[in-house]
Amino acid sequence: MSLIELYLRKPNVYFYGKVQEPQEAEYLIVGCPYDSTVSRRPGTRFGPFAIRWASLEIESFSLRKLEDFEDIKVADLGDLIPTYSSIEDYLNRLERVLSEIKREYSKARVFVIGGEHTVSYACIKALDKSTGVIIFDAHMDLRQEYPYGNPWTHATVSRRICEYLGPEAVLLVGVRAFCKEEYEYARGHKINFISALSIKKNPADSLKNILEWLSSQKYCYLSIDMDVIDPSQAPGVSTPEPEGITVSTLLDLLYNISEYKEIFRGFDLVEVSPPYDPSEITSSAAAKIIMEVMTYFSAKN
């Protein structure tokens, strides 16, 4: 039995209702219903289901791309079965499953739906180590430990990624919430970051900086933490922070970033917490973002 068969369970609801054979797909979806280290508002383990459910009611035609998501072949492989031991075990399991998916379906790209942001580390480890990472997030997530004594949490994931790939391979976009330790680490290690304030004040310059960074990368991975969006538009996240960017701003940036779509090797969207999203606007926004990203970055388009 393969790891895919052993550790992935079929979803109760398929993303956008698409039931596609993975051999024919351009994108493969894997859900990670996991949130063992969420420190403030747990519930991201329900994110994959809520986003899939919301996707059933989202219109498929992209206004920016003028292409239809309906025409893109997407296979939903289901959810990674949670472990009840340590987060290290879960990350190891996810990395192994994603590595097998990459071997089995080498022409497709995986889009992981979280779940807490820590899962991004395993997603990146399953790829070529020459891959850069662009992370849209309200937080830097560069703490050494959080809480004290725990190096593997949603608040340390970007630091672990920097240690694995090297700080020059990471670009943080939309950040606006960090402690002094994180700021000093970012400056001391010359980590590239673009704040939400910079995007609001100088959107053209911010986009130019992102594109210049992308031009230096051989491959790239895209990670979207939904708390990058202002809580007025995405309240259902684990750690909301004021002064975020809008959904429209995020989609504008992603649309322009897709100029480099050939170098992108994988994607994730994380940190939707449905218990704090009674109106379902966060899960609906997340579903829309996933559909738009797949449309922008499709080889078909």
CATH of the domain at 110: 3.40.800.10
- Please report which confidence band the pLDDT of residue 149 belongs to, taking 50, 70 and 90 as the band edges: confident
In the chain, the percentage of residues whose pLDDT exceeds 70 is 100
pLDDT of amino acid 80: 98
Average pLDDT, the chain: 96
Total domains in the fold of the chain: 1
Q: For residue 53, is it within any domain?
A: yes
Q: What is the pLDDT of residues 88-134, one digit of tens each?
A: 999 999 999 999 999 999 999 999 999 999 999 999 999 999 999 99
Q: Which domain holds residue 85?
A: 3-296
Q: What three-state secondary structure class fits 115?
A: coil
Q: For residue 86, is it within any domain?
A: yes
- Please report which confidence band the pLDDT of residue 40 belongs to, taking 50, 70 and 90 as the band edges: confident
Q: What three-state secondary structure class fits 214?
A: helix
For residue 138, what are the CA distances in angstroms to 145, 242, 274, 279? Answer: 18, 9, 18, 22
CA distance 66 to 86: 44
Residue 39 has pLDDT above 80, yes or no: no
Q: For residue 301, is it within any domain?
A: no
pLDDT of amino acid 205: 98
pLDDT of amino acid 37: 77
Least confident interval from 69-78, 85-94, 230-239, 283-292: 85-94
In the chain, the percentage of residues whose pLDDT exceeds 90 is 91
154 backbone dihedrals φ, ψ, rounded to 5°: -60, -20
Residue located via tokens 């899939």: 52
pLDDT of amino acid 82: 86
Whole-model pTM: value is 0.97
pLDDT of amino acid 103: 97
Q: For residue 50, is it within any domain?
A: yes
Beta-strand relationship, 74-80 and 8-9: antiparallel
Residue 83 has pLDDT above 90, yes or no: no
Residue 291 has pLDDT above 80, yes or no: yes
Neighbours of 163 (CB within 10 A): 14
Q: For residue 80, is it within any domain?
A: yes
Contact 69, 61 (CB under 8 A): yes
pLDDT of amino acid 36: 83
Stretch 140-160: mean pLDDT, rounded?
A: 92
Q: What is the pLDDT of residues 189-212, one digit of tens each?
A: 999 999 999 999 999 999 999 999
